[in-house]
Copies of this chain bind each other. A is one copy, B any other.
Amino acid sequence: MRKMLVLAAAISLTSSLLAADPAQVPYPEGYRQWTHVKSMTINQGHALYDAFGGIHHLYANKRAEQGYKSGKFADGSVIAFDLLEAKAADNTVQEGARKVLGVMHKDSRKYKDTGGWGFEGFKGDSKIDRAVGKSAATACFQCHAAQKNSDYVFSIFRR
């Protein structure tokens, strides 16, 4: 009986450690069907190469798409930054493996310290392996803060 109690306590502790932090940015399910905003390739020699080298595509959910038009992103806006390896061969550059899936998720209350945006990165093709976690303020917002006039978003919708 004591063994079972210990086991139960252990399971309970593990569960609470694994329970999602309510401030965690959710994985952007279905983003590959969202609207494609624009793309860019960052090559070796660029200051951001270590973090963002490769081909990136930006995708916006419906609410974020409106935000790109109006310049102000409503709560619920989500932008996905899909970073793939850039494979150069035979005078082409092609998409390789996914390096990280970056996410900006607007919730002006939850993320009030970082411009109303939650930031996260999902490593490779994982939906749970997080690259940013609690370091969004230094790892992401430090750069995005400069874009205050466009609601902290760098990209512009390509027509």
Contact = CB atoms under 8 A, between A and B. Distances in A.
A159 interface: yes
A42 interface: yes
A70 to B, nearest CB: 17
How many copies, total? 2
A39 B92 contact: no
A44 to B, nearest CB: 7
Contact of A32 (B35, B41, B45): B35
Given A93-B93, A95-B158, A59 B36 contact: yes
A46 B91 contact: yes
B42 A95 contact: no
Nearest to A159: B32
A36 B33 CA distance: 7
Max count, chain B CB within 10 A of own CB: residue among A40, A41, A90: A41
B91 A39 contact: no
Shortest 9 CB-CB contacts between residues of A and residues of B: A46-B91, A36-B36, A45-B91, A41-B93, A43-B91, A33-B35, A40-B94, A42-B92, A39-B39
Interface of A: 32-33, 35-36, 38-46, 49, 55, 57, 59, 65, 90-95, 125, 158-159
